[in-house]
Amino acid sequence: MSIAAPRRSARPVLLHLLLSALACLFAAAPVRAAGGPSVGPAPFWALSPDSGAFRTSMEAELSAAQASLDRMLAAGGRRTVENTLVPYNLAVLHGENAAYGSHLMESTHPDSAYRATAEELTQKASQFLDALNLNQAAYRAIQAVDVSRADAATKYFVERTLLDFRRSGVDRDEATRKEIATLLDEITKTGQEFAKNIRNDSRTIQLAGPRDLDGLPEDFIRSHAPGPDGKISLSIEYPDLYPVLRYATNGDVRRRLMHESQNRAYPANMSVLDSLLVKRYRLARILGYPTWADYITEDKMIETAKNAADFIDRLKETTFRRASDEYAVYLKRKREDDPAATQVDRWEISYYGRLVRKRDFDFDPQEIRPYLPFERVKQGVLDVTSKMFGLTYKRIADAAVWDPSVEAYEVWDGKRLLGRFYLDLHPRPGKYNHAAKFTIRQGATGVQVPEHALVCNFPGGKPGDPGLMEHSDVQTFFHEFGHLIHAILGGQGRWEPVAGTAVQRDFVEAPSQLLEEWTLDPGVLRTFAKHYQTGEPVPTDLVARMRRADAFGRALGMSYQAYLAALSFRLYDQPPDQVDTDRISAQLEPQFSPIPEMPDTHKQTSFGHLDGYSAVYYTYAWSLVIAKDMFSRFDRANLLDPTVAKRYRDQVLAPGGSMPAKEMVRNFLGRDYDFTAFDTWLAGKD
């Protein structure tokens, strides 16, 4: 549930893509009336039907980037916004267009040869961007620009750019800069290897027959018929994994599937992860920091590694006792089935959590599934967000896309085209197997509109399968769409490197987690959650029961998130020769979570965020604190009311990364954020 990470490590800018020459050419083209074919700069995919054409288009981006950089460096006389910042903006924009587009194709294209081409192009684009960050002439040129009379966004852009240059090591001697460039390139490739091993390891288990599916919903059983040998295959991908863990009465089936899931990319990624830790540590040391954690937290809202460690401790303190109380309830329920039970294992949590909620809160997630068929939910996400933010989405008929299942849309604000997005929402072999918003192009006024893709793995998409979703899938969908809308509404400014979701990284999960709240509101749900057979809206009473049940297990869930945050942080806050990833994981888990660690598993090998977020997975919890506070400003009696949403759009989403996150939040709240709303929520009182 994330922002897909760029491969670049020295500068926390996210990845982007397009055909520069075309973008400039078409930027001034008049926007045609709504309802017609796609307008504005050509959509990024339009000229990439095969890997050769894709290579050509990405290389054209890199040439345009180089040409912009050359133009900037060649400018004579006094350094100005026009002769320096404008071409610098284009150099980064085109370089990132190549990086973002390649990264998306590397992660999603159905053809493995195409993915391999994209992987190589990602490396090339990363090399260009890393070299740019180490280019002293470019740094000095920007330093020399007088921005004293420029607007606030431009001033902040320059301030942040110069800081990024310094943090990249631009002021080091040539030999050191060379070493940094080599390390960055190695980190890019190692991160790619880490992600590829996760993508390509899609395991299955075989069941003896339909009896092993006892407890699972009927539609699930129907779509998992035995093969010719009588056996049933279950995959570790989400559409199989989540229902099995929640509903299967056969505990051994749950255990086996989770065991495979928690060993995804094992053993291949053990050494890859070690290598990533070593390289990042070395880079941090060269740049003058004690550890990578010190380096990576410095430009975040949290400011220091010490503050991050304190925040993770605070999470532990606020969750552990309550999580232990909840755990005792799980154990008590398990003892009704097995009086000799002494513990509840990881693969039993979802299952017993359901049984407890059923008994104590009269809520069974099976009841809500029939109201959540994929197509209706998708339409619901579109309708809810368009209403809140006053937008129109138009499906682009016959859009060129990388897989036939992908849908393309335009986003309109009245007569203004704001951007485009792509929905790639069902699993297929070799595809990124988590859920994320991928950047394709960040917006820049007069040059290109933002384009982004949601890459998820939801049920459905097959003929005859209604694709009944778990409510947690719906939350994921709204979460990722929260990133998407942030990226598009925040992508309307002048400076591409600070557009959209290029905010301070530990703020980026706030808009996405905020939008999850809309999935728990009966009024909102009833607009789209309609029974897949009868069309009847989800009963208000069912939603009310779900909301009450939702509070149970919250501390247990949060304590696991705190453990993951600690794992991400601790792997990076010490010299790698002291790091044994299995040992650290095994030491931390019992400190944070009362649930025993699953034996013989190595979940760090498929914890993709250990590359993209590296030490700062605490971001999710940190952003949640802010999201809960921001949600307190909305009118819960009418979440579809556009009034507060408009203010939120203007003050939090629209600025993108053009100001410090703390200021945006202060503008919206009218004060600094605090922990009150989060603590109330965690206590189950909300």
In degrees, rounded to 5, the angle at the alpha carbon of residue 485 between the alpha carbons of residues 484 and 488 is 90
CA-CA distance, 344 to 253, in Å (whole number)?
A: 16
DSSP 437-456: EEEEE--BTTTB--EEEEE-
Rank residues 330 and 648 by Cβ distance to Zn ion and give the closer one. 648
**Encoding tokens for residue 116?**
């391999």
Question: Strand 2-3 vs strand 451-455: parallel, antiparallel, or unpaired?
Answer: unpaired
CB of 54 to Zn ion, least distance (A): 27
CB of 195 to Zn ion, least distance (A): 16
Rank residues 478 and 673 by Cβ distance to Zn ion and give the closer one. 478
Three-state secondary structure call for residue 42 = coil
Any idea which residue has 């039993």 for tokens?
Answer: 348
Rank residues 242 and 361 by Cβ distance to Zn ion and give the closer one. 242
Rank residues 357 and 437 by Cβ distance to Zn ion and give the closer one. 437
CB of 234 to Zn ion, least distance (A): 27
For the four alpha carbons of 37, 40, 45 and 48, in that order, the dihedral sign comes to positive
CB of 651 to Zn ion, least distance (A): 21
Type of residue at 641: D
Rank residues 512 and 559 by Cβ distance to Zn ion and give the closer one. 512
Largest Cα–Cα separation, the chain: 84
CA-CA distance, 385 to 364, in Å (whole number)?
A: 28
CB of 103 to Zn ion, least distance (A): 16
In degrees, rounded to 5, the angle at the alpha carbon of residue 604 between the alpha carbons of residues 602 and 609 is 160
Rank residues 315 and 435 by Cβ distance to Zn ion and give the closer one. 435
Any idea which residue has 């309802």 for tokens?
Answer: 35
CB of 611 to Zn ion, least distance (A): 15
Alpha-carbon distances, residue 431 vs 110, 195, 245, 549 (angstroms): 7, 10, 23, 34
CB of 648 to Zn ion, least distance (A): 17
CB of 3 to Zn ion, least distance (A): 6
CB of 656 to Zn ion, least distance (A): 16
CA-CA distance, 296 to 13, in Å (whole number)?
A: 12
What end-to-end distance do the CA atoms of the chain give, in Å?
Answer: 23
DSSP state for residue 32 in the 8-state scheme:
P
Q: Is 264 exposed, middle or buried (0-12, 13-18, 19+ CB in 10 A)?
A: buried
Q: According to DSSP H, which parts of 201-304 are helical?
A: 218-222, 238-247, 251-261, 268-286, 292-297
Buried b / exposed e over 492-526, threshold 16 CB at 10 Å, is: bbbbbbbbbbbbbbbbbbbbbbbbbbbbbbbebbb
Rank residues 613 and 668 by Cβ distance to Zn ion and give the closer one. 613
Residues that bind Zn ion (CB under 5 A): 1-2, 509, 512
CB of 490 to Zn ion, least distance (A): 15
**Encoding tokens for residue 482?**
């929260």
Rank residues 23 and 484 by Cβ distance to Zn ion and give the closer one. 484
Rank residues 122 and 501 by Cβ distance to Zn ion and give the closer one. 501
Q: Are 565 and 588 in contact (CB under 8 A)?
A: no
CB of 335 to Zn ion, least distance (A): 37
Rank residues 141 and 653 by Cβ distance to Zn ion and give the closer one. 653
Rank residues 315 and 514 by Cβ distance to Zn ion and give the closer one. 514
